[in-house]
Amino acid sequence: MEEKDLVKTETGLGTIKIADEVVSIIAGLAATEIDGIAGMSGGLVGGIAEMLGRKNFSKGVKVEVGEREAAIDLSIIVKYGVRIPDVALAAQENIKRAIENMTGLSVVEVNVHVQGVSFPEEEEKAEAARVH
């Protein structure tokens, strides 16, 4: 891991380093706590959003971390029937709160990219595939 991929803080006792991947995982976990988010999207593959399970928390999350600030891009799939602006706002607030509380970084922006909509029967098939 390169030094530029770490948030470094000097203390009287030494140095604290937080990897960018840790910030991504925090953001992904905070996003999956929001009711209405079906999963994270790995991006567009052949025009179809690739839905990722809840176990791969940093997928669908891109972070830019400076010495004291962070910006997050989040790609999500929402559940059918939810009010998308409300879900996106809840995700933004939860991610900002989680990152700031856990890392001490100031979150300057959380951009939410809705990549798809999950229908109830799709969720059941995806769950059945994960079980088998």
Question: Pick the residue with more confidence: 121 or 71?
Answer: 71
The answer to whether position 44 is within a domain reads yes
The answer to whether position 40 is within a domain reads yes
The answer to whether position 3 is within a domain reads no
- Cα–Cα dist 26/29, whole Å: 5
Q: What's the pLDDT tens digit per position in 35-57?
A: 999 988 875 544 444 555 545 66
Res. 15 pLDDT band, cuts 50 70 90: confident
Res. 99 pLDDT band, cuts 50 70 90: very high
Cα-based angle 52, 89, 23 (whole degrees, multiple of 5): 55
Res. 110 pLDDT band, cuts 50 70 90: very high
The answer to whether position 10 is within a domain reads no
pTM reported for the whole predicted model: 0.78
- Cα–Cα dist 83/110, whole Å: 18
**Domain of 90?**
20-131
A 10 A CB-CB count for 73 gives 15
Give how many domains the chain has, as a whole number: 1
